Structure 1
Amino acid sequence: MTKILRIDASIRADGSVTRSVADTLQRELVERLGDATVATREIGMTPLPASAWAGAVFGPHTPAEQRTPEQQEGIALATALADELLAADAYVFALPFYNFGVSQHFKAYVDILLTEPRFAPGQPQLIAGRPAQLIIARGGGYGPGTPRHGWDHGTAWYQRVLTDILGLDVETTEVELTLADVTPAMESLREMAAENLAQGHVRAKQNAGRLAERLEV
């Protein structure tokens, strides 16, 4: 049975574009595969503990009998995150773009994961080559010719971590202008935003189809 791991980092339960597009992709993928199971790690609505990273960093260098509760928690969490990744055949990362950068919740996820010996820098990439879907939503427009071209300091980092550090084979779906409907200054962009969102859902379904074909081989 195919196992999919989904990571959601949006802080919004309702109205989240990354969740919505990921839902479209997941429905299509499960329908095509038939026997797939999806495990979800919710880090947006249920953030990882703030103390976990320090605990995971320093805990392994502290004798087991002297470890603080935070260190024990950090080590256990790093192990759990690593186990989840290793158990999956493919991945869906639904990651928003906040304040011109990455989600703090996904950054914490990565920081904790990389303390785990199996995923530590310099170790063999144990999940290298496995397929991953990266879904990104940005409230404004950041492409060439826009006032904030060059302000996207998140997308490249997401891709760098997933491809170069974890070694995943990543396909990206990007949606922009997601704040047009609630931002008066963006009123003229609402039609474009709606089209962009619709295209994002179409791409998600297409990507799910290709991923299903790959997983069925």
Structure 2
Amino acid sequence: MVHLLHIDTSPRGERSHSRCMTREFVAQWQQVHPSDTVTYRDLGHQPVPYVDELWIAAAFTPPEQRTPEMWEAIRLSDQLVDEFLAADIYVIGVPMYNFSVPGVFKSYIDQIVRVGRTVIYGTDDSTHGFKPLVLGKKMFVIESRGAAEYHPGGQYEAMNHHDPYLVTVFGFIGITDITFIYVGNDVESISKARTHAIDLIAA
């Protein structure tokens, strides 16, 4: 039995292609793996706050030295990190906005990429000064991005800062097994995305 963390980041509701695809993906997954469990987080409709000065002070202060105000500033982040670490597989719907990820997802990433929780700096066995702590996980990113050709080899590949960013930031904390499922806004693209998702789940 494995545990999935299902995250949506689009502010749209039923008109969201990424929401539709993540919902179908998780439903199909549960049909194939009925004993697996799912936690859902809706960042598009319930965004998490930006990090602020007190958050930064708390994150970089040893726990035994934190003030009550620091503990309160970092409380939600600790909850998000605990939730993130409890999952074995991530299914995340992330539309492309202005060549990168939505601001609500960047805020979430800033909350969970934490020194001492998901990455360690300055250890003897670290690589380039850091050691990732989130290992053995699998991530599926369902990316909606209209009709433009941002895929590898596409006309606008060089403008795609969405995929490279996610590969970099999640690789930084140890998640290197990332599969992208691309969905556009036309019937053919949506159909291909559904087929791709079904094949991945079956595999």
TM range, smaller chain: 0.7 to 0.9
Quote the offset at 1:53 in angstroms. Answer: 4.6
Quote the offset at 1:109 in angstroms. Answer: 1.0
2:138 maps to 1:152? no
**C-alpha distance in structure 1 between counterparts of 2:35 and 2:154, whole Å:** 45
Quote the offset at 1:29 in angstroms. Answer: 0.7
Contact kept? 1:95, 1:134, Cα under 8 Å: yes
**C-alpha distance in structure 2 between counterparts of 1:87 and 1:167, whole Å:** 14
Alignment of 1:1-217 (within 5 A): 1-50=1-50, 52-60=51-59, 61=61, 63-65=65-67, 67=69, 71-122=70-121, 124-143=131-150, 144=153, 146=155, 148-176=156-184, 178=185, 193-210=186-203
The secondary structure found in structure 2 opposite 1:118 is coil
Contact kept? 1:133, 1:170, Cα under 8 Å: yes
Q: Which amino acid aligns with 1:21?
A: M
Write 1 or 2 for the structure with the bigger share of helix: 1
TM-score (norm 2): 0.82
Contact kept? 2:5, 2:87, Cα under 8 Å: yes
Residue 150 to residue 140, structure 1, CA distance change in 2 (3 Å) = farther
**C-alpha distance in structure 2 between counterparts of 1:35 and 1:57, whole Å:** 39
TM-score (norm 1): 0.78
Residue 2 to residue 27, structure 1, CA distance change in 2 (3 Å) = same
The secondary structure found in structure 2 opposite 1:132 is strand
Residue 26 to residue 49, structure 1, CA distance change in 2 (3 Å) = same
**C-alpha distance in structure 1 between counterparts of 2:115 and 2:41, whole Å:** 17
In structure 2, the gaps of 5 or more residues are: 122-129
**C-alpha distance in structure 2 between counterparts of 1:66 and 1:4, whole Å:** 33
Contact kept? 1:8, 1:19, Cα under 8 Å: yes
Quote the offset at 1:74 in angstroms. Answer: 3.4
Identical positions, percent = 26
**C-alpha distance in structure 1 between counterparts of 2:157 and 2:168, whole Å:** 19
Q: Which amino acid aligns with 1:49?
A: P
**C-alpha distance in structure 1 between counterparts of 2:200 and 2:29, whole Å:** 9
Residue 55 to residue 43, structure 1, CA distance change in 2 (3 Å) = farther
- How many positions carry a matched residue from both structures? 190
Contact kept? 1:79, 1:116, Cα under 8 Å: no
Contact kept? 1:3, 1:89, Cα under 8 Å: yes
Contact kept? 2:120, 2:132, Cα under 8 Å: no
Residue 66 to residue 156, structure 1, CA distance change in 2 (3 Å) = same
**C-alpha distance in structure 2 between counterparts of 1:55 and 1:82, whole Å:** 18
Quote the offset at 1:116 in angstroms. Answer: 5.0
